[in-house]
Amino acid sequence: MIEVLNLHKSYRTQLVVDSLSFSISSGEILGLLGPNGAGKTTTVKMLYGLVSPDKGQVRINGLLVSEFPREVRSTIGVVPQEDNLDPDFSAKENLIRFATYYGLSASAAKTRAEELLKIVKLSEHADKSIEALSGGMKRKLVLARALINKPKAIFLDEPTTGLDPDARQDFWKLVQLLKDDGTAILLTTHYMDEAERLCDKVVLMQDGKAVETSTPKNLILKHVGLEIIEISQVDNQLLKAICEKFSTWSRAYGLGSVIGVPPGKSLELLQTIESLSPERTLKRPANLEDVFLSLTGVRLD
C-alpha cells in the first residue's frame, strides 16, 4: 500500500532524510522511531505530499505522490502532532466542514460525521466547542477527521503525546480497529510501550537514516536480550571491566548507565554490580529504547 524508495531531503546544507526506504502493507502498522531531529516528521510530510523530496519516490496504492497528489490525498488520512481543529465550530461541525472538502453533500457529510463520532465514542460531545473537549477527546476528534474519506492509509505523527494513560489506551483501541479493517498505518512515537504494542515492524532512524528495520521483538532479542540492568553512576573503568568480563555492553542513561544482560548471566551480573554498592540497581525487561541505545548510544527522547 505504501512504498518508499531512496528518499532524500535537505534544508540548505543540512541533510534531514538520507536514503530512506521501507514499505507498509494493508493491515500493517510500521513505526518510525528516533530521537528529536532524526527526520521522522519530515519523512511523514513527504509521504503525504506536504513536503517534496529532493530525490526518491513515494507510492501509495500504486500511485506516485509527486505525480498524482490529488488522487493520493483522496485515499489517505493524516493525524498531525497538533490538534489543529477549528475553534469556531463544534466537534460535529468540524467533521462536517472537513467532509465537504471531499465532495460530500451536506446530508452525506452529516451522516459520516455522526458515524465517526460514534466510532470514537464522542457522540454525546458532538455539540461541544473544541475548548470544552479534553486532550484525549481532541485527539479522538482529529483521528475521526482523518477517517472522513475512509482512507486506505493513515499517518499518525506522535498521536498520543501528552495524553493520560486511559486516553492513550482508548486511542490504541481505535488504531487497532483500523489495522483490523485493513488500513496501512505509519506511526511516529516517543513511547516505546506504544511502539511495541502496536507496530508490526519498526524503522529505527538516526540523522535521517534507517539504522535498522525489523519487528520490535526481533530487534530487542537481537541487539539487547531479554533484560537490562539500570545502575546509578559508577566508575567508568569498573563498568568497562564488568562489560568485558560478561561480554556485554553499557551505555550512559540518565544520571547512570544501563548494562545488557547476557543469557543465563542475570543473577551473576546483578550480584557483581551490587557488590560495587551503587545507589540504585534495577533489573527490568528490555525495550526498543535499549535497542537504540545499544546501536547508537543515543536515547529516543
> Residue 160 has what pLDDT?
87
**pLDDT tens readout for residues 96-117:** 999 988 888 999 999 999 999 9
- The predicted-structure confidence for 65-91, as pLDDT tens digits, reads as follows 999 988 998 899 999 888 889 999 999
Nine-digit cell at 95? Answer: 467533521
- Reported as a single tens digit per residue, the pLDDT across 20-70 is 999 999 999 999 998 888 888 899 999 988 899 999 999 999 999 999 988
- In tens, the pLDDT along 188-220 reads 988 888 999 999 999 999 889 998 899 999 999
Per residue in 281-301, pLDDT (tens digit) is 888 898 888 888 877 777 766
Q: Residue type for 69, please?
A: P
Q: Name the pTM for this structure.
A: 0.85
Angle of CA points 82, 86, 88, to nearest 5°: 145
Contact 207, 38 (CB under 8 A): yes
Asked if pLDDT for residue 251 goes beyond 80, the answer is yes
Spell out the domains of the chain, with CATH numbers in brackets. 2-219 (3.40.50.300), 226-285 (3.30.70.260)
pLDDT of residue 277: 66
| Average pLDDT along the chain | 89
Residue 223: name the closest of 214, 232, 231 by CA: 214
> What pLDDT is stored for residue 35 in this prediction?
83
Query: 141: closest CA among 152, 157, 125, 163?
Result: 125
Contact 147, 123 (CB under 8 A): no
Other beta carbons within 10 Å of 233: 15
Instruction: State residue 12's pLDDT score.
Output: 86
Q: What whole-number percentage of the chain has pLDDT above 70?
A: 99
